[in-house]
Structure 1
Amino acid sequence: MSTVAELFATDSLLTGEEREIRDTVAAFTERHIRPNIAQWFEAGEFPVREIAPELGKLGVLGMHLEGYGCAGLPATSYGLACQELEAADSGLRSLVSVQGSLAMTAVHRFGSEEQKQQWLPELATGRKLGCFGLTEPDFGSDPGGMRTRARRDGGDWVLNGSKMWITNGSVADIAVVWARAETDGKNVVRGFLVPTDTPGFTAREMKGKLSLRASITAELDIDEVRLPADAVLPGASGLSGPLSCLTEARFGIIFGALGAARDCLSTTIEYSRSRAVFEKPLAAYQLTQAKLADMALELGKGQLLALHLGRLKDRGELTPEQVSAGKLNSSREAIAIARECRTILGANGITLDYPVLRHANNLESVLTYEGTAEVHQLVLGKALTDVSAFR
């Protein structure tokens, strides 16, 4: 019996170090996540404070960043780690993405040396947690319309506004908050480092989710939050700052979503071989084999694309449009695989005894966050036609 990796010989495309990193992360999820993830998902909770330091010891928090206690590993290695994290649960990969590719990347790329020294080593170990406040209740795909404002008051900044769908928002120690800042008669998007114990900052955990249930999501209220002048990220001015961080996070999704799809498919293949229907294994039916073959084909193609994009990123050649292509393909094909797998498992597929519908529910969020499928279609459309359809 061949696996998808064997059919496509993808291991032959990896270095020994890359395989070791992948296998180490997989072993971590086997010990720390898989035995409990169904229970956490059902309860709608995740022990972030307990798991984050373990992720820090594993070295995956900001693992693609250089210095300040970060591992400084290649992009492809980070992608392979994301694949294993999301094979366990999308919420786990989201935690790592938000910590490393959003909060830590913002500080690493745009922060002052003092800000980097203060926050990055603590975030890399998981002793401190970060969140990334960009999305607002009325502005998701169009962050340029944000209403959160920052004004100068003497030597201080004063922030007002709200953010929504913020992963780790209610457990974070530091929030990277993006706001329109009024300076020199201009209104420019700037990033601010907001300690979450600052007066006027409130985070409320969002309940009632049917997706990413094993993940902490919050709404942030920012009411006359007063910050010193050095709270601003000096290297970021305009939307290009937060959008470049989103591109980093999307890269992890390219690999991560395929991890969820792989877990669904491997579970389903094993199930089909042991499940008897009309006195023979479900795997013996042509319809079942056709479904499995089609899913394996899309998963294999997605993994080959992900590896190609990883190599481009390691060479410094990856473009945002290529990231959009990868994110669109991986998220769209992963959710299609999860849904098809559910049909093979039948009624068993809707239970938490199997990971398939848990992955499918999570992938509903992955399909739309960090840019909806439609937004990435339009990004590719503009690249192909040189005509923007956004406005």
Structure 2
Amino acid sequence: MTAPLAGIKVVEISVAMAGPFCGMLLGDYGADVIKIERTGVGDDSRAWSPYFHGAMGYYYAAANRNKRGMALDLKTEEGVRIARALIEDADVLVHNYRVGALERLGLDYESLSRVNPRLIYCAISGFGASGPLSKEPANDLFMQAYAGSMSITGDPEGSPAKMGMSVADVGGGMFGAIGVMMALETRHRTGRGQRVDTSLLEGHMAMLAQFFTRYFSSGEVPGPSGSGALTSPTYRAYQASDQWIVISAFNQRMWKGLCAALEQPDWLEDPRFIDPQMRSLNRPLLIQMIGDVVIKHPLAYWEKRLKENDVPCSPVNTIDKVVEQPQVHAREMVQEIELEGLGMMAMAGLPIKFSESPGSVRLPPPRLGQHTAEILKEMGYPQERIAALAHQGAIGLDPGWVKMEATPSSPG
């Protein structure tokens, strides 16, 4: 079966998470993604520890499967010439460099689209291509603070807290991929590509939509709510006698089920808790009352009681527990792929399933420059020219290829 993006060629010039995550999503569903990295050091995240068998950082590995790797020195004319030739023959360019960086190399949308009018040019920056901060750098932690999510995360009595995951970076990558998909669909109708411009700021604000809407509607500035919601005391984590459990009773029917599970029928008639608005007004009191009951029994007891009364609940799973869940394996959300000479690497699987055109994990994260020679050969470069470019420092080659091709053939 053909993957959804089979036949789509993507050139990715990006580092860390946002751009690479976007490129990986496209690669997971069949696109031929060529990742261009700097010679010598590559993507910064290659060096971020801990390492997989000393080969690469786990952070790098998590966002760079299903790509072919190419090392170019874009500070050289020849390196830029190769990159330009690749892009001029591509369907999509993805980059997350600072606004103006690729433009200074002549790799801007306007000049590239004149040669390749079908090109979809996806730029993921910190703040977007316009505005007073457009050329300023940003990263995940910075954006969680700037865009507001840090102000609503953590314990109300504690210090500001970042989300454990790189939510601003991953969000930027996801919105970039969505933009590429919409631009591809538009190209089917018009025959022309276009610039897709998104940022960590815009993606992060989009994911915080309910908080902005609440502020605009009420004038109230949301704050942190710990493990629960700002309004509902029945939608949060509670401490059982042995570990934490999340109770998510978010409507009136579930409230009745929760009272039954906790064996507190009187709460149903208590005017302080009679409806969601009253429960919200008396939130601290009800949290204390529920907590006093839940702490008396272990997790297993409450899981049984709550499920019998149709109240959603879950243990607060650590990562090692998540990957043991039968549902996770049923949905193929743990995938393994072999790294040559290093054994098997497990990683999170593909989040979207198709009945007729599934994606797949086909390629491991590439070694730095692993496919440089392969791609240049596809572009028509002879072996002698590839070796000369490597000697000049314009390209970086995988050590395995260098060893294999150590003795060049005779000219002619």
- Which bracket does the TM-score occupy, shorter chain normalised? under 0.3
Q: When you count helix as a share of all residues, which structure comes out higher?
A: 1
Bigger CA radius of gyration: 2
Q: Provide the TM-score with structure 2 as the length reference.
A: 0.23
